[in-house]
Structure 1
Amino acid sequence: MKIGVFTVLFGSKSFEETLDYLAERGVESIEIGTGGYVGNAHCNPGELLQAPERIKEFKKAVDARNMTISALSCHGNPLHPQKELARAFQDDIVKSVQLAEKLEIPVVVTFSGLPGDHEDAKYPNWPVSPWPNDFQEVHAWQWENKVIPYWTAMGKFAEQHNVKFALEPHGGFSVHSPATLLKLRKEVGEVVGANLDPSHMWWQGIDPVQAIRILGNEGAIYHFHAKDTAIDPVNVNRFGLTDMQSYSDMLSRAWMFRTVGYGHDLKVWSDIISALRLVGYDGAISIEHEDGLMSIDEGLGKAVYNLKQVLIKEPLGEMWWV
């Protein structure tokens, strides 16, 4: 396993400045934003695809620092009912897949997307209750008419370019849990797997260790985010886990994102890393910094320090005691 970082938090720095900053802190792998909600400050696929020599320079800059690229990430909603928005997200995904092939990166991270509740809808609709029965009808319509057809087509496209999708299970999207990820994977095939982010498991009431076992037993974990969540034991009883307050209302929110080790202790994180090893995941542990109580430098530094204590890096040896 390698300590990685999702570089979008350094959008104000140049790509090479970012690489130097991370290399100095012992980071071994990077996940790069290529569009969608996270932007493409360090990597614009449309521009690079038009200039093959720049692709070589891009890769050389990473190789020169003994780093790897774990994934290209373009988190967006290609199923958005507003067609112009959907097309923009779709374009980012297509170009990210094409660039990933050129860079020999096997994984593109994104969201499953979320449709509206009918063809003329304006906004996405996230049904999470089986009653009233209207929600069941919306859910069935979305999956049968939008989610499965879209990802079936995109799966075939990705396979043509030797790339797999690591969809991030995330509240507010059709794929938001291990079950919904596996539901889509059953329809589309192994070209679809998970970018598992434990922070989004915790705030939905899902144990990340069990999520790893569920998805890992199916060989369905293609990428991993290292981000923590702290649940406030008082506020959660007032607002519930589906708290709609702004992330900036940290004093009153039911939960907030934290850097690694500040929502759950290192025993929990060692259990997470061990579970990943148990199911055969040996890729990047990509830090995603979204801690509102810490600066980027401090939050990232603490995440790297804490992960170094629990990360399992060496190959498995022979069990001499067996």
Structure 2
Amino acid sequence: MKLGFLTACLPGRSLEDIASFAQRQGYEALEVAAWPRLADRPFTASHLDAAAMTKDRAQETVGRLAEQGLEISSLSFYDNNLHPDPAERSAVNAHVHACIDAARLLGVPTVGTFIGRHPGRTVAENLREAEEIFPDLVRHADDAGVKLVIENCVMEGWHPDGYPGNLAYSPELWEWMFSLGLYLNFDPSHLVWMGIDPVDALRPYVERVAHAQAKDIELFPERRNRYGYPGRAVNRPDPWDTGWWRYRVPGLGQVDWQRIVDVLYEGGFNGVLSVEHEDPVWGGTNDRILTGLRIAHQTLRPLVAA
């Protein structure tokens, strides 16, 4: 197992600058943000132009990172593959294809995305639509020697009432995903606020985890008693603010990282555990974000054998 981080937390920094920091800090891999250049959404970045990738650019990128002792663990484009607008859905699907092609050129083993959801349709209706869309993406990935991984993020901010906006939030849905040939980018933080034990949830499915993310979470149960699991309803100007939990960097929340890493090792996982930094306490400026990544490294390095 290797330790890395997702570059999306530093959207204004170049990949070269991020790699220099990663090398100095002792990280071994980068999960590279690969949203389209025109994307302007929270938690996104464009550190690699997948649509413009060529063999020469790929060799140059991989070579520069290798000189710093780094590898690319995954290309990340987490967007709504079931977007309710047909044109937007088509564009998202097309960019997943572009990321797969770029991953093949770069020799990157995985591409990460979301199932997504049409918020005006039932879960069952969405699953049937996904079964029409994802087989083509999976075939393309298989042909490229790439695994398509789905993060189990709930994406509650995509739904007008704070309900799941990405249909990959539970082991029941993971099994459905696996039947389509998809793999899991496992992130324990989302399971905690959903009331699912991340250790028990992970154990039976390690062989389908092709990539893993390290994000922590801090719960405020007394606030949940007021809002319920979906979060704030009357006054919620920020769709991502449920009011009763927040993400933290590993070590500052309630995820048991010793048990999570142990289950990954026990199950034979030999991929990358990638820090996803969305901690509001250690956010806001580049210096604070880098400090958050240092805290995460200090927490996880003793558990992930270098």
Q: TM-score, normalised by structure 1?
A: 0.83
**Deviations for 1:2-57, whole angstroms, at most 9, x for unmatched residues?**
110101122211221111011111111100011165545210111223xx322211
Say if 1:155 and 1:105 are closer, same or farther in 2 by CA, change over 3 A: same
- Tell me the amino acid that sits aligned with residue 159 of structure 1: D
Q: Which residue of 2 aligns with 1:3?
A: 3
Q: Distance in 1 between matches of 2:188 and 2:240?
A: 21
Q: 1:182-261 maps to which residues of 2 (within 5 A)?
A: 182-186=175-179, 188-189=180-181, 192-216=182-206, 219-244=207-232, 245=236, 246=238, 253-261=243-251
Partner of 1:169: 152
- CA deviations 1:149-181 (Å, max 9, x no partner) are 211221112111111111011212122212101
Which is worse superposed, 282-291 or 85-94?
85-94
Partner of 2:159: none
**DSSP 3-state at the match of 1:309:** coil
Equivalent residue number for residue 278 of structure 2: 290
Q: Do the aligned partners of 1:247 and 1:256 also contact (CA within 8 Å) in 2?
A: no
Gap runs ≥5 in structure 2: 155-164, 283-287
Q: Is residue 139 from structure 1 mapped to residue 129 from structure 2 by the alignment?
A: no
**Within 5 Å, which residues of 2 pair with 1:57-136?**
57-115=60-118, 124-125=119-120
Output one character per residue of 1:80-108: Cα deviation in whole Å (capped at 9) or x when no partner. 11012112211220100001011111111
Once the two structures are superposed, residues 216-267 of structure 1 have per-residue CA deviations (whole angstroms, 9 ceiling, x without a partner) of 2xx2101101000111021111112221443786xx82110011011126xx
Q: Structure 1 pair 102/40, CA: closer, same or farther in 2 (3 Å)?
A: farther
Alpha-carbon distance between aligned partners in 2 of 1:83 and 1:247, rounded to the nearest angstrom: 23
Name the CA shift for 1:306/1:194 in 2 (closer, same or farther; >3 Å). same
Secondary structure of the 1:201 match is helix
C-alpha distance in structure 2 between counterparts of 1:185 and 1:155, whole Å = 11
Q: C-alpha distance in 1, partners of 2:212/2:199?
A: 13
User: Aligned to 2:210, what secondary structure does the other structure show?
Assistant: strand
Aligned position for 1:152: 135
Letter of the aligned partner of 2:153 in structure 1?
Answer: H
Aligned partner letter, 2:7? T
Structure 1 residue ranges without an equivalent (≥5)? 116-123, 127-137, 314-322
CA distance in 2: counterparts of 1:296 and 1:74, whole angstroms: 21
Deviation of the 1:142 alpha carbon = 2.1
The 3-state SS of whatever aligns with 2:302 is: helix
The runs of at least 4 consecutive aligned structure 1 residues that moved more than 6 Å come to none
What percent of counterpart residues are identical?
A: 28
The higher-RCO structure (CA 8 Å, 6+ apart) is 2
Partner residue, 2:50: 45
Shift of 1:139: 2.7
1:246-295: CA deviations, max 9, x gaps? 3786xx82110011011126xx2101100111111121110011010112
Residue aligned with 1:179, SS: helix
Could you say what secondary structure the match of 1:253 adopts?
coil
SS at match of 2:53: helix
How many angstroms apart in 1 are the aligned matches of 2:44 and 2:248? 22
TM-score, normalised relative to structure 2: 0.87
